[in-house]
Amino acid sequence: MADEKEHGISTVKSIVVYPIKSCGGIYVTQAPITSTGFKWDRQWLTVNSKGRAYTQRVEPKLALVQVFLPDEAFFEDWQPSDESFLEVKAPGMDVLKVPLTKPLKTVDNVSVWEWCGSAIDEGPSAAKWFSTYLGKSSRLVRFNSDSEVRPVDPNYAHGYEVMFADGYPFLLISQGSLNALNALLQEPVPINRFRPNILVDGCFSFSEDLWTEIRINKLTFQGVKLCSRCKVPTINQETAVAGPEVGETLLKFRSDEVLRPNRKPQKGKVYFGQNMVCRDSLGLGMEKINMANSMIIKVGDPVYVLKMVSSPDDSPA
């Protein structure tokens, strides 16, 4: 059942951008929205010698990699210069500085999940840094937005795109949901276990399960799919060590069988958070988005719920 009346206000508590897939996030006070999600989000990827993506699922040490961008990189009209860098840090490693101006060399057969295409190679220094840190042949690549498109699953959100994100441009979670989980855990966990882009506060726990349309700063976001979780939430992002408690607890009260009893069961799936797309970005090229004055959200922005369903049983998953 959909309710088209505007109701229920929560607030954007934090915004997180993850420039390198599976590495640390950057907490920002504001973030511009592009056709693939937040600016800089999952624009880089570490790959093995065959071009296949590394993620925390197989390389949990990536959790300890910290990533930094200039503060001004999150202004809508900012463009990098020759003195602009992505800085990468990790325990026992020197700082790696990756120029934000694009290099010219591309590599083929870069793959992440179902997608395969070309990417921009960040060169031998970055390759040596990640090879040393991971202890195996590695390279750092950047999404080649000039020639490549990676579409979102059209069964859930037709026409949208991502760079190296798992599947969707945005992941939204509420503080109430984290609080509800932590109340069941012997050792509470921080929100970084779940790697959201947008954390909201002020609503009931798991309200986001039901949101099919919300508005943040005049931008309309559509909830398209409950986020099914892999093993990454079991990995402590400060130690890179996995433990069973989070996964076992989620399975007890956030499994597909529990939340969606009237649907065909998807055994083993657990949900935490809502995958989202921004309708205002659909069909807009990068140049148009850069010219727009309102394609940005900020910490503290109110969140208005425009449409919702009555239970998780009615939510796509």
Q: Where do the domains of the chain lie, and which CATH numbers do they carry? A: 7-314 (2.40.33.20)
Q: Parallel, antiparallel, or unpaired for β 96-99 and 106-112? A: unpaired
Inter-residue contact 191 to 178 (CB < 8 Å) = yes
Strand stretches in 113-262, DSSP E: 115-121, 139-143, 150-151, 161-162, 170-174, 198-201, 211-216, 219-228
Helix axes 245-253, 175-182, angle to 10 degrees: 110
pLDDT, position 121: 97
Tokens of 305: 């719920």
Apex 169 CA angle, 95 and 19, nearest 5: 5
Instruction: Reduce the DSSP state of residue 314 to 3 states and report it.
Output: helix
Contacts of 16 (CB under 8 A, 6+ apart): 25, 26, 27, 28, 192, 195, 196, 197, 198, 199
Residues 4-9 have a mean pLDDT of 55
* Alpha-carbon span 8 to 160, nearest angstrom: 27
Average pLDDT in the 148-157 region?
96
Q: Which pLDDT does position 75 carry in this prediction?
A: 93
pLDDT tens-place string over residues 84-133: 999 999 999 999 999 999 788 999 999 999 999 999 999 999 999 999 99
Region 34-44: mean pLDDT is: 97
Residues in the chain: 317
